[in-house]
Structure 1
Amino acid sequence: MAMNFDPFRELDRMTSALLDSRQGPQLMPMDLYRDGDHYVLAADLPGIDPGSVDIDVDGQLLTVRAERTMRTAEGVKWLAQERRGGSFLRQLSLGQGVDTEHIAATYENGVLTVTIPVSERARPRKVEVVAGGSSGRQHAVEA
């Protein structure tokens, strides 16, 4: 198998490996958005065993942990070894407007998706306005 050798890419990889003083968990890239009455967190975790993913809710703090173990083969000569193993960690403060009892998660195609429902109290609702006086008409006003 032929490999293209790029000395600058190799130098960049070696420099970042030497200068990376972080010994703790790595961050996982994620997107977070609101879709109707729930929030969706989508985190990239390719190569993760779904059994290693741990999601905890402590009060209003959501913690996502995952572990990637690298397969090691004895007696092989590495041509390239750029994938990192280790722990991944992400913590989010959820705030008061979410339903922490009904958080759900799925893992598919290397993406962890966590669905966080908005609590009933934080959802938009109609408030009925009762007009004073003798007409007795009522109007609905959106809050």
Structure 2
Amino acid sequence: MMDVIIREIGRKVNELTREFYETIIPPVDMYEEGGELIVIADLAGFNKDKINVRITSQNDLIINAERELQYIGTKYTVQRPLRIHKVIHLPVKVRKDSQITAKYENGVLTIRIPIEGAVSVKVE
């Protein structure tokens, strides 16, 4: 009986840990470069075809990703996130009808977002 209780407590803690990480992950860096906002998100272990990126009319960047984990055997612990839902309010206005690009390479998602009103000035 005690083994069942301990196993269930452990299972619940693992679920809570995974759910916690699903809300704070991925870590994101943002910076401006050449009239674009560059957003870099760590999404290691996700397949490119399971990543969805969009920008809302309220200027929110939304990153969604899902993965399935394959296990051999019956005893395992899952702490890595299975789903990501990250909403980031962008600190700049996005150009309407702009060419936003996203590249996923080696577990890192890089999004390039043109900034409304940004003008590049050539320095001579």
| TM-score using structure 1 length | 0.61
Q: How far apart in 1 are the matches of 2:18 and 2:48?
A: 28
Is it true that 1:30 corresponds to 2:28 in the alignment?
yes
Judging changes above 3 Å, is the alpha-carbon distance between structure 1 residues 90 and 47 closer, same or farther for their aligned structure 2 residues?
A: same
**1:64 Cα offset (Å):** 0.7
- Structure with higher helix content: 2
| TM-score using structure 2 length | 0.69
Structure 2 unaligned segments of length 5 or more: list them: 1-9
The aligned amino acid for 1:29 is P
* Higher Rg: 1
Alignment of 1:130-141 (within 5 A): none
**1:85 Cα offset (Å):** 4.0
Which residue of structure 2 lines up, in the alignment, with residue 53 of structure 1?
51
State the superposition RMSD in angstroms: 3.2
Higher relative contact order (CA 8 A, sep 6+): 2
**1:118 Cα offset (Å):** 1.5
Identity across matched positions, percent: 28
Judging changes above 3 Å, is the alpha-carbon distance between structure 1 residues 19 and 84 closer, same or farther for their aligned structure 2 residues?
A: closer
Judging changes above 3 Å, is the alpha-carbon distance between structure 1 residues 67 and 18 closer, same or farther for their aligned structure 2 residues?
A: closer
Aligned length: 109
Structure 1 unaligned segments of length 5 or more: list them: 1-12, 126-143
What's the CA shift string for 1:32-83, capped at 9, x where partnerless?
Answer: 111121111111011101000001121012101111221122x3666xx565
**1:95 Cα offset (Å):** 5.1
Judging changes above 3 Å, is the alpha-carbon distance between structure 1 residues 14 and 29 closer, same or farther for their aligned structure 2 residues?
A: farther
Q: How far apart in 2 are the matches of 1:84 and 1:41?
A: 22
Q: How far apart in 1 are the matches of 2:110 and 2:18?
A: 30
